[in-house]
Amino acid sequence: MARIDLVDLAHSYGGNDAPQESFALKPVTMTWRQGGAYALLGPSGCGKTTLLNVISGIITPSRGKILFDGQDITPLSTQKRNIAQVFQFPVIYDTMTVGQNLAFPLKNRGVPKAEIDKRVAEIGRLLDLEPYLNRKATRLTADAKQKISLGRGLVRSDVAAVLFDEPLTVIDPELKWQLRSKLKALHRELDLTMIYVTHDQTEALTFADTVVVMHDGRVVQSGTPAELFDKPAHTFVGYFIGSPGMNILPAEVKGREARIGGNVIALHHSYDNLPAGAKIEIGVRPEFVDAVAPAPGLLTAKIDRIDDLGRIRFARVRIGEAKIAARAPAGFTSADGTAGLRFDPAHVHVYANSLLVEGAA
C-alpha cells in the first residue's frame, strides 16, 4: 500500500523547452491517500494515460516529483516501484496454465515453491480462478484472461499500488459489470491503492471513491462522484459527467438573477462581483429543469423531440441557438411544439470563463 504525492508534475513530448500550454500533462500537485480507489477520467488525448505512465515509470516526467510514502521514486525504474499494472489487452502467456501464469512473477524473484503455491491458491480464490488453475490460458474468455493479468500483479506481496489502463476495453458489455464488481470487492478486501484510467464515466463513478477529471492535459476537478455531479467546478465536468450532461447557457448575471435574452431565471445565491469582461454562463442539470406548459415568467422553448428513457423522459428544446435538455413529466404534451422551462434555483450554478463562481448567501 502507498500514499502517492504528485508534486508539480508535468510532461511534454516535445521537450522541456516547449511552451507549457503544449504540454500533454500540465502541472499537477495532489495527494492520493493510502488504500484509496481513484479514477482518472476524461476523453481521448486529455492526458490521463500520460499521467498513469509517469506514475508507473514508463515515462520520465519533464518536471516535478512522485513520492510513494514520502520517498521520491521519480528516478526509479518501473521494476523498482513495486507496482502492478493492468493494460487494455491482457498480458499473459497462452502456452502456460493459469496457475503457471500467476506463479511466473514469483518464480522470477526466487520465491520458495511453498510460498508460490500458497500465493497462487490465494489469488485464484480471490479472482474466482480456482477451477482454471490447471487449464491452459489460451482457451479462456477475454474477461478470464484479464483476471489472470490482474492476478499476476496481485500475487506479489510487495505491491504498493495497482494501476489500470482502460482494463475493460476488450470485455463484452454484459461481462463488464461483473468484472467491475470484482475489482471493487478486491479493493475492499486488499485495501490497496488503486488508480483506474478510463474514458467511461460509468466505470469511473462505480469503481472510484475519488474521480479525477482531466481535460486538455489539466486536472479540472477531483472529488467524489456526488461532488462532480452536484457541484461541477468547471463547465467541462458538468457537460462530460451525466447523461444527458449539464446544460451550459450564456447569460447575463447580476445579483440573484440570470438573464437569457429577455427572460429571467432566479438564482439561489447573489452574484454582484463577477470578473469584468469574463465569459459568464449558467449551468443546470436536466434533472433540475422541468418542461411544462408555457406560462408568464417562464422561458419559452421550441421542442425538437422528447426522449423516453423508461423511468424518465427528457425534452430536447431550443431557445434561439441554445440547446437545452429538460425533464418532461409523465403526461406532458405540447399542442404547438413549445414548452415553458421551470428552473430549480438551488441547482443553477454560475461560471466565469468556465470556472465555478461561489455566490453569496
Residue entry with cell 486536472:
219
> What does DSSP assign to residue 138?
G
Name 85's Cβ contacts closer than 8 Å, sequence gap at least 6.
56, 78, 153, 162, 163, 164, 165
Edge-to-edge, what's the strand order for the sheet holding 4-11?
25-32, 4-11, 63-68, 71-72
pLDDT given for residue 154 in this prediction: 86
110-119, 127-136, 172-181, 348-357, range with the lowest pLDDT: 172-181
Q: What is the residue-averaged pLDDT of the chain?
A: 92
pLDDT tens-digit profile of 79-90?
899 898 888 888
Reply yes or no on whether the pLDDT at 226 is more than 90: yes
What value does the mean pLDDT take over residues 106-117? 92
Reply yes or no on whether the pLDDT at 123 is more than 80: yes
Residue 189, strand partner residues: none
How would residue 222 be classed by pLDDT, with cut points 50, 70 and 90? Answer: very high
How would residue 229 be classed by pLDDT, with cut points 50, 70 and 90? Answer: very high
pLDDT tens-digit profile of 232-242?
999 999 999 99
All structural domains of the chain: 4-240 (3.40.50.300), 247-357 (2.40.50.140)
> What does DSSP assign to residue 98?
H
What value does the mean pLDDT take over residues 246-261? 93
The answer to whether residues 307 and 314 touch, using CB atoms and an 8 Å cutoff, is: yes
What value does the mean pLDDT take over residues 181-203? 90
pLDDT given for residue 35 in this prediction: 93
For the record, the C-alpha cell of 191 comes out as 485495501
The percent of residues above 90 in pLDDT, for the chain, comes to 66
pLDDT tens-digit profile of 269-284?
999 989 989 999 999 9
Q: E-strand spans in 110-262?
A: 161-165, 193-198, 210-215, 218-223, 247-250, 252-260
Q: Is 323 left (phi over 0), alpha (psi -120 to 50) or beta?
A: beta
75-79, 102-106, 184-188, range with the lowest pLDDT: 184-188
140-144, 217-221, 346-350, range with the lowest pLDDT: 140-144
Helix axes 173-190, 142-154, angle to 10 degrees: 20
Q: How far apart are CA 217 and CA 42, in angstroms?
A: 10
Reply yes or no on whether the pLDDT at 8 is more than 80: yes
pLDDT given for residue 178 in this prediction: 83
Reply yes or no on whether the pLDDT at 1 is more than 70: no
Q: Which amino acid is at 180?
A: R
Q: How far apart are CA 162 and CA 126, in angstroms?
A: 15
Q: Is 337 left (phi over 0), alpha (psi -120 to 50) or beta?
A: left
